[in-house]
């Protein structure tokens, strides 16, 4: 099962009413952000909303945001070096990537629509953070394809619906770095029946059946996007199957657990909460990397 994390959720009707178009480049998106501030900016209406509270896993949505920024700011080769610790966590290229995230997440004019100031990001459950899009309190929310499952029952998800998603743009329209994640199914014996189940779960037949039910998609190349139960899952499959896309797996999931599911989470929370600046937070993560 897989997911695409490089998504921005938005209200098609709010965009249409204000004459906004889905941005194709990073600069387009930032120009749109400033346009929304000029047109609608107030204490309760902002271009962006975000939240990273997730119980014991608080901070993980911020790590996703940073990983997407590394892919755009530094590129996939540097991303690989960073994840493998071939360069330090606080390398200047990673600092610049965090600064790019901060251009949005630490700007009081940009966030947190319908919720609070920038520090409210740390205390807002990630699963609730995008709901102000439905209320026209915020116009954009960066979250993975699986955010669809957090929406209220009856929400119309699609290009003409209550909410939809667009690809988080890169610096140029012909670039398409893609942050993805997934879950693996492991076998604990080699029984013939177990192997048969594994073979079926790895087959395009199962993948096509599962995507028609909804909720998850498979990165299996034999999946027909036309079988997807929703427009977001269809878009997810199309991005996964794009031969020109440069895909990278969720970096924090590939790092040692004490970093990827430890200090990376906690230090990004401290950064969001204003307790540390970016360089200090990244330096603290670097110092926690196991020998």
Residue 266: inside a domain: yes
Convert the pLDDT of each residue in 138-158 to its tens digit.
999 999 999 999 999 999 999
Residue 203: inside a domain: no
Residue 46: inside a domain: yes
Convert the pLDDT of each residue in 54-93 to its tens digit.
999 999 999 999 999 999 999 999 999 999 999 999 999 9
Residue 28: inside a domain: yes
Task: Please provide the distance, in angstroms rounded to a whole number, between the alpha carbons at the two ends of the chain.
Answer: 32
Residue 241: inside a domain: no
Residue 202: inside a domain: no
Domain that holds residue 102: 2-179+252-288
Residue 246: inside a domain: no
Predicted local distance difference test score (pLDDT) of residue 1:
72
Which among 190, 240, 182 has a CA at the least distance from the CA of 199? 190
Residue 174: inside a domain: yes
SS3 at position 93: helix
- Total number of domains constituting the chain: 1
Q: What gap in Å lies between CA 288 and CA 269, rounded to an integer?
A: 16
In DSSP terms, which residues pair with 166 in a beta bridge?
8
Predicted local distance difference test score (pLDDT) of residue 282:
98
Convert the pLDDT of each residue in 229-281 to its tens digit.
899 999 999 999 988 889 999 999 999 999 999 999 999 999 999 999 999 99
Predicted local distance difference test score (pLDDT) of residue 247:
95
SS3 at position 91: coil
Q: For the chain, give the number of residues.
A: 291
pTM equals: 0.94
The CATH number of the domain holding residue 22 is 3.40.190.10
* Token pair recorded at residue 217: 């998609």
Q: Please give, one letter per residue, the 3-state secondary structure of 167-226.
A: ECCCCCCCCCEEEEEECCCCCCCCCHHHHHHHHHHCCHHHHHHHHHHCCCECCCCCCCHH
């Amino acid at each position: 099962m897989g997911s695409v994390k490089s998504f921005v959720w938005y209200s098609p009707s709010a965009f249409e009413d204000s004459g906004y178009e889905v941005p194709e480049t990073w600069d387009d998106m930032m120009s749109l952000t400033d346009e929304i501030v000029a047109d609608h900016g107030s204490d309760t209406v902002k271009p962006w909303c975000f939240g990273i509270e997730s119980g014991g896993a608080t901070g993980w949505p911020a790590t996703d945001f940073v990983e997407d920024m590394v892919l755009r700011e530094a590129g996939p080769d540097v991303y690989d070096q960073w994840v493998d610790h071939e360069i330090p966590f606080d390398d200047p290229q990673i600092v610049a990537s965090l600064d790019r995230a901060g251009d949005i997440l630490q700007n009081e004019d940009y966030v947190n629509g319908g919720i609070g100031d920038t520090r409210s990001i740390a205390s807002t459950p990630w699963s609730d953070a995008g709901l102000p899009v439905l209320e026209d309190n915020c116009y954009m929310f960066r979250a993975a394809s699986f955010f669809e499952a957090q929406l209220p029952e009856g929400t119309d998800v699609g290009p003409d619906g209550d909410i939809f998603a667009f690809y988080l743009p890169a610096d140029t329209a012909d670039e398409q770095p893609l942050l993805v994640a997934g879950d693996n199914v492991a076998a604990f014996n080699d029984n013939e029946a177990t192997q048969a189940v594994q073979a079926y779960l790895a087959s395009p037949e199962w993948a096509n059946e599962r995507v028609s039910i909804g909720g998850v998609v498979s990165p299996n190349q034999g999946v027909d996007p036309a079988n997807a139960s929703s427009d977001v899952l269809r878009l997810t499959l199309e991005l996964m199957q794009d031969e020109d896309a440069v895909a990278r797996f969720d970096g924090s999931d590939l790092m040692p657990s004490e970093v990827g599911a430890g200090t990376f989470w906690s230090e990004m929370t401290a950064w969001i909460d204003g307790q540390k600046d970016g360089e200090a937070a990244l330096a603290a993560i670097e110092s926690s990397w196991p020998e």
